[in-house]
Structures are given as C-alpha cells and as structure tokens.
Structure 1
C-alpha cells in the first residue's frame, strides 16, 4: 500500500518530519556555539545592569542614565549620527547600485571589486585614513587651498560632519549590495513598458523603480543604522573624546570609571535600540513585500 502523501507537495508526512529533524540536528552546533559565546554573556551583561550592590534588583542605573542631561545628549548624538550616516549612504549607494545594474562584463567586475575589496581592510585602517585626510594639513585642506577655494585651513577633524562622512564611507557596501540585489531581480521590460505608455524618466523612477527597490533600501538602511549606532573605532579616531557616542560611553564606564552597572545599562539601551531597528525593518520589509 503506497504511503499517504501530502495533498499539495506529494511528500509523505513522515518524510517531512525526518527532514525537519535532520535540519535541526545540522543547526544544533551553530546554535550551541551562539548560545555559549554570545547569548549567555549577553544575558549576564543584562542581569548586571539590574543588580544592586547588595545583590538585589534595582533600576538605579537606568534612572541615573536618563536623569543625566549629558547622557541624553550622547544618546541624541548617537541617533543623529546614525540617521545622517544612513541618509548619506543611501544618497551615494542608490546611483551606485543603478550603475552596477547597468554595467556589463568587465565594468561590472570593476564595480564589484571596488566595492568589496575595501571591506577586506580593517576598520581601524579606513578610519585612520579619514582622520589623516581631515587634518588641517591634510589632503582636503591642501587641495582646496591650492585651488583658491579657502584662504586658511578649515577645521574638519573632530567634527560631527567628518564622523558622518567617514562612517558612511566605511558602511557604504552594506547599503549598495541589498539595493543592487533587488535591482538585479527587476525585469527590464517594466521600464520599456512604462516608456511605451509615455511615462517620463522621472515618472518611471518614482512610480516603477523606486517602489520596487524599497525592500532593498529598507534592508540596507537597517544594516547601516545598526552598524552606525554601535561603532566605536570610527568615532574614537575621527572625533575623539570631544563628541562621545554610546559605545564610547560604554567603554569609558567599564575601562575608566570601573562602573560595570552603568556600562551594562548603557549596553542594554544600545541593544534595545538595535533590536527595535531590526524588528521595525523586518515588519516594514514584510509589508512592502505583501504590497508587491
């Protein structure tokens, strides 16, 4: 007697259960690795933020953080820098992704190499390179002085603008690749069909290309924003201690103030922000996918 098959796929139910069990077994080592080296230390860090001196439960660290105007300024600066970095990355990444989508042959290879190769360099190297460019005697000031654009060097280093530019340069590939992946899946016949109906290039962009690339934009923005709020090396080299961000405040709490409870509470706040960004981007991507 033949096995009872699924009404849609025709696969026996017992076979499906076996495949699920094997998949769970294959994922077991990876999940165990993440649990031991990531989840458990993270849980201990979160518990530390609620632990009082006598071993009890307290919210003093959180109330003291939100009750300090300096900490609120650091939080606002961190979110502002992450938002501006995401916008700048999007402004540069979108036309780059369009150019990559239209490139063929050797030019596509050049684009991919130019985009992926800098990712192999360390963040310290790229951030330090920008700190050299932004110096008073750096290449940017010297070039503008030689062209007669400025009479004296402009203060670029240790500014929020320099931090946004440097961070956008480092995180740019994480915005370009998701948008490029979505553009590669689009059918070129859509553009030709819209043009044949009399649609202008601007109309085709805002009503055809842009709506179809929104999932890639959301994914790239989530990547860049999450990386921007958690960066430590880039602001340390470009702005230093003059304009601190949350990761720099966490490092100061642990390394200099020796206040583990404060550092743990700031880490928990940063983690909540990152999780909120991921959840919101996932919800938004699902909504856009459903509409599409």
Structure 2
C-alpha cells in the first residue's frame, strides 16, 4: 500500500521551489532594466558630483554647496515643507482611513474612488487647480469675503502655507491607503475587548488602536515625505521662484546655469535624503513588527 500524501497525514505539503539560477533568470529582465535606466545614470551622477573644478576627484563640490548660506536655506526649506506636508497629510488621512475601515457597501466604494481617482490625474492639473484657488480673485478669497471673514483679498498664492496645503492634497492617498491597509488587518473585537476591561475612548485609542496602526503610519509618512522632498511641479506652480526647493535648484543648475557639477551635487544630496528616509522607515517598521 502506498504512503498517504502529506495533506492526508495532516502535515502541509512541501513546495517545489525554483532553484536560484531559475529565479535569477526570472528577475533578469527587471534587474537589467533597472541597471540600464536607473543604476547606471545614478552612478554617473554621483561620479559627476565628485569631479573637482580642475579635473580631480573629491568632496570640493559638497564643501562649496554647504558653505553657501543660500543653499543651506533652500535645504532647510525643502525639509521643512516636506515635514509639514507629511504632518498635515497624517492629520487628514488618519480619520479618513478609520472612516474607510468602518464603511460598507456603497460608501466604501465612494471612499475608494475618492482616494484612487485623483491619482489618475496629472500632478500639473491638480497643482494648477490649487494655484487658481489661491489667487486673489480665486474661489477661496471670494468665499472668505462673502461670509465676512476678511474685508479684502488675502495673499495666499506664492506662500509656504499654500504649498503645504496643495502638496498634502496631491499626496494624501499615499498616506491614507497604507493606514487603511493596516486597519483592515485588525480585528474589530479588540476595541470591544478593551472597553469590556474598563478602558475609556482615549485609552483605547492611544494604547490599542494607535500602536497597531504605527506600521501603516510609518509607511505612509515615508511615501509622503519622499514625494514631498523631491517635488518640482507643485512648487513651480504654487510658489514659483520666490521660494525654491532642492529640485528647483537642480533644474536651475542644469538648465540655466549650465553647472553640471552643482546640479549633480544637489541631486546626490537629495538622493542621500531619500535613501535615509527609506532605510529609517524600514528599520522602524521592522522594530514595530518585532514588538507586535
């Protein structure tokens, strides 16, 4: 009599895994594409940033960049706007994700469409729409004057506040969806169990709900911060040249100043910031996962 299969015996069947050589063959097209159109250009960019003014190699370009107060101001402004955009997106996204998690049927469909549909629109369209709203004769100023909040038009366009609001609107789905995905994995009975033990609403939120959603918050914050620190079109349309950020300074160095060394140096600094955000969020997510 032949032996019974593993599934009958109660043990999980073993999977016939592919060998490493076959896995490498499957990944070869994607890896080749990334190496040709991503890794090699980045390597050339870093190589260009290390070229000295007299043809040598070193960190002279980086020293020159950080020795200019204007460049330091642009760097600080870029980080500040990215941080404020991330915080505003989180404040709006968290209750939205909770509402999506509790919605059912048609309302859930409405929420998902409201989150996903704006992502199909171009960034130029959304940024230009905000630039129209923030104008002196735009809809926001007209509404505030109509209800008596202001006596005249308020200057909103070409301000950092307008940039943060517009960027948060564009990048909001990248914060909502990771938090919503984490909430979907939680059991609805956890809050009821905490309430049955005498925990109040604030205690349940800060000691049960919030800690369990931290992985989604970390993932969403990493997405939004990385997108905010590298945005170019949104600042160009909302604040223009009055408040430059690092991507705008990169474009100016390459297109107008024809200074490839400076543009490559700023690009490398922006790349280092993005890598630091990814590594930091990965480390934090791993620690949060280990605690759970």
Indicate the TM-score class for this superposition, using the shorter chain for normalisation.
over 0.9
| Aligned counterpart, 1:50 | 50
Instruction: Report Cα offsets for 1:124-180 as digits up to 9, x if no partner.
Output: 000000000000000000000011110011000000000000000000000000000
Q: CA RMSD in A?
A: 1.6
| Aligned counterpart, 1:213 | 213
In structure 2, the residue corresponding to 1:177 is in which secondary structure?
Answer: helix
Q: Which runs of 5+ in 2 are unaligned?
A: 4-10
> TM-score normalized by structure 1?
0.94
Are the aligned partners of 2:52 and 2:61 in contact in 1 as well (CA < 8 Å)? no
Q: How many residues align?
A: 284
| Aligned counterpart, 2:6 | none
Aligned-partner Cα distance in 1 for 2:227–2:25:
32
By how many angstroms is 1:25 displaced? Answer: 1.4
Aligned-partner Cα distance in 1 for 2:69–2:125:
34
Instruction: Report Cα offsets for 1:4-32 as digits up to 9, x if no partner.
Output: xxxx97749xx54x343322211110000
| Aligned counterpart, 1:26 | 26
Aligned-partner Cα distance in 1 for 2:41–2:55:
18
Instruction: Report Cα offsets for 1:44-63 as digits up to 9, x if no partner.
Output: 01100111344321322111
Q: Structure 1 residue 121 and structure 2 residue 124: aligned?
A: no
Q: Which runs of 5+ in 1 are unaligned?
A: 3-7
Aligned-partner Cα distance in 2 for 1:29–1:194:
50
Aligned-partner Cα distance in 1 for 2:12–2:22:
19
The within-5 A match list for 1:1-292 is 11=14, 16=17, 18-292=18-292
In structure 2, the residue corresponding to 1:148 is in which secondary structure?
Answer: coil
In structure 2, the residue corresponding to 1:157 is in which secondary structure?
Answer: coil
> TM-score normalized by structure 2?
0.94
In structure 1, the residue corresponding to 2:240 is in which secondary structure?
Answer: coil
Aligned-partner Cα distance in 2 for 1:188–1:70:
52
| Aligned counterpart, 2:8 | none
Instruction: Report Cα offsets for 1:252-271 as digits up to 9, x if no partner.
Output: 00000000000000000000
Aligned-partner Cα distance in 1 for 2:210–2:53:
54
| Aligned counterpart, 1:5 | none
